[in-house]
Amino acid sequence: MTITKKRKATQGNFLTSTQELNCATIAAHRNTRPVKSSTSIRGSLAGLALLVGHQAVALAESPTSIFSTLSTPAHETNSIGLFVVIICTAIFAVVAALLGYAFWRFRAGNSDEHEPAQVFGSMQIELSWTIIPVLIVVVLFLATARTLFSIQDAPKPANALNITAVGHQYWWEYHYPEYGIVTANELHIPVATGNGGRVTYIKLTSADVIHSFWVPQLGGKTDMLPNRVNEMWWDPQKAGVYVGQCGQYCGAQHAKMLLRVYVDTPEQFAAWVAGQRKQQTELVADVVDSTSEAVNPSVGQKVFEQQSCINCHAVQGTVANGRFGPDLTHLMSRDTLGAGAIQNTPENLKAWVEDPQQFKPGCLMPAMHLTNKQNLQITAYLQTLK
């Protein structure tokens, strides 16, 4: 396994502690670009660009707009992007104006029979339109390189939260090694600002094919590859729920490999962690027979454990330890099922267990063909997994 994003502490203006990072990000949030000694021209251009960008995209309000950024990597990416947009727009304006002028000014008259003067070229002109673009390219490149290095090679603060995210065909698995938590689909991380704020570093890999981890408001995407570990970081500045989705085609249900990130306040996050660390225990069954009429959780657990569910799903503290599907230990702490495909309500849960293919045709959980009774029992059990 190779870790590909090397970190370099040599660059002078890189931030070295969380403290600074936090200041930086707050500042960045305020004036839309990171605290760096940068030329004021670029700064104001980027500012202007942001404004224009916001205006343009305000037409369509979207929770996934790459312009409503809420963390440093996203801000920086955005400023460089808009800087380039401005330059390109300027190039477009000039060249399109010249083209338009030529189209109009040099259109042929009706009666004119003579051929126009034949001009074959000019060395000076050729040189000028070679050199000017070269200069523009140099500027664009240097600006890009700065942002690139500052995001990709940013030093990792000592108290960063480490998470490993594993892409699976159409769902996400998360490990919090620090807390021994394994969960799926809905990622919880703390805000990075304020007291107790932490930056989150995510190691990304895949269990099967290539996926890509993308929450536009928090930052650009990074691919998840089998046999390889990539890394990226976020320092979200505002608590809330952010959505995104898989950014690399990965098979039938790529479209419904949705992604939700809950950015919690430090208190919320601590509470969530405590909840996730709870182990489930084997419920004591009143009736062991799974064909029993009773619909209660303990019967449900037996049914669940007698079916092949446990080949694919794990519930910590019980015999269920499958790894092919999402960990169900705290299923009820999640708002959605099937990587955001549907809301997590009791009816949906039962319908999902009956036949997940109706919501996510082509997903890798088969319809289990159980009786209605069994489904009710299993659903009752799953609802205890708080």
Partner 1 sequence: MGSQTYPVAGGLQTETAPSRHGYLEEIHSWIVTVDHKKLGIMYIVYALLFLVIGGLEAILMRIQLAAPGLHFLEPQTFNRMFTMHGTTMVFLVGMMILFGFGNYLVPLMIGARDMAFPRLNAFSFWMSALAGILLYFSFIGGNGLAGTGTAPDMGWFAYAPLTEKAFSPGHTTDYWTIALLANGIGSIGTSINILATVFCMRTKGMTLMRMPMLPWLYATMSFLTLLAISPLTAAQAMLMIDRYLGGHFFDTQAGGSAILWAHFFWIFGHPEVYVLVLPAFGMASEIIPVFSRKAIFGYPAMVAASVSIGFISLGVWAHHMFTIGLTSYGNAFFTLSTMLVGVPTGIKLFNWLATLWGGKIQYRPPMMFAAAYLIQFLIAGLTGIMLSVSAWDWQLHNSYFVVAHFHYVLVGAIVFMLFSALYYWYPKMTGRMLDEKLAKWHFWLFLIGFHLTFDLMHIPGLLGMPRWIYTYEADRGWGTLNLLISIGGVIQGIAVLIFVYNMVHSYFKGELAGPDPWDAWTLEWATASPPPSYNFATDPVVGSRRPLWDLKHPDDPDSAFE
Please give the residue ranges that form the binding site for ligand HEC (CB under 6 A): 170-171, 184-185, 253, 304, 307-309, 311-313, 324-326, 328, 331, 334, 337-339, 352-353, 360, 363-366, 368, 378, 382
| Angle value at C-alpha 354, between 348 and 358, nearest 5 degrees | 70
State the maximum Cα–Cα separation within the chain, in Å, rounded to a whole number.
Answer: 103
Which option in partner 1, ligand HEC, ligand CUA, none does residue 151 bind, with CB closer than 5 to 8 A by kind? partner 1
Which option in partner 1, ligand HEA, ligand CUA, none does residue 167 bind, with CB closer than 5 to 8 A by kind? ligand CUA
Question: Which tokens in the block code for residue 313?
Answer: 């799903």
Q: Which residues bind to ligand HEA, rule: CB under 6 A? A: 91, 95, 133, 136-137
- Residue (of 369, 189, 170) closest to 265 by Cα position: 189
CB 10 within 8 A of CB 124: no
Q: Does 246 bind ligand CUA (CB under 6 A)?
A: yes
Q: Least CB distance from residue 346 to partner 1, whole Å?
A: 22
At position 36, the amino acid (one-letter code) is: K
CA distance 242 to 68: 11
CA distance 379 to 373: 10
If the CB atoms of residues 111 and 130 are measured against ligand HEA, the closer one turns out to be 130
Return the residue nearest ligand HEA (CB atom). 133
If the CB atoms of residues 252 and 274 are measured against partner 1, the closer one turns out to be 252
CA distance 301 to 379: 9
Q: Least CB distance from residue 48 to ligand HEC, whole Å?
A: 43
**Secondary structure of residue 291 in the 3-state scheme:** coil
Which option in ligand CUA, partner 1, ligand HEA, none does residue 11 bind, with CB closer than 5 to 8 A by kind? none
If the CB atoms of residues 198 and 334 are measured against ligand HEC, the closer one turns out to be 334
If the CB atoms of residues 22 and 248 are measured against ligand CUA, the closer one turns out to be 248
Tell me which residues in 347-386 interact with ligand CUA (CB under 6 A): none
Q: Stretches 130-138, 157-165, 247-255, 358-366: which one binds ligand CUA (CB under 6 A)?
A: 247-255
Which option in ligand HEA, ligand HEC, ligand CUA, none does residue 133 bind, with CB closer than 5 to 8 A by kind? ligand HEA
CA distance 290 to 306: 8
- The beta-strand segments (E) located in 256-337 are 258-264, 336-337
Choose which of 248, 276, 374, 379 interacts with ligand CUA (CB under 6 A): 248
Choose which of 73, 81, 167, 216 interacts with ligand CUA (CB under 6 A): 167
CA distance 230 to 76: 20
- Residue (of 329, 364, 335) closest to 349 by Cα position: 335
If the CB atoms of residues 28 and 225 are measured against ligand HEA, the closer one turns out to be 225
If the CB atoms of residues 133 and 180 are measured against ligand HEA, the closer one turns out to be 133
CA distances (Å), origin 145, targets 46, 149, 257: 16, 6, 32
Which option in ligand CUA, ligand HEC, partner 1, none does residue 57 bind, with CB closer than 5 to 8 A by kind? partner 1
Q: Least CB distance from residue 348 to ligand HEC, whole Å?
A: 10
CA distance 256 to 276: 25
If the CB atoms of residues 167 and 340 are measured against ligand CUA, the closer one turns out to be 167
CA distance 307 to 288: 14
Residues 6+ apart with CB under 8 A from 350: 375, 376, 379
CA distance 268 to 276: 12
Which option in ligand CUA, ligand HEC, partner 1, none does residue 134 bind, with CB closer than 5 to 8 A by kind? partner 1
Q: Within its chain, how far is the Cα of 364 from the centroid?
A: 22
Q: Stretches 65-73, 93-101, 246-254, 272-280: which one binds ligand CUA (CB under 6 A)?
A: 246-254
Q: Does 257 bind ligand CUA (CB under 6 A)?
A: yes
CA distance 266 to 195: 8
Tell me which residues in 174-233 interact with ligand CUA (CB under 6 A): 211
Interaction site with ligand CUA (CB under 6 A): 167, 211, 246, 248-250, 254, 257
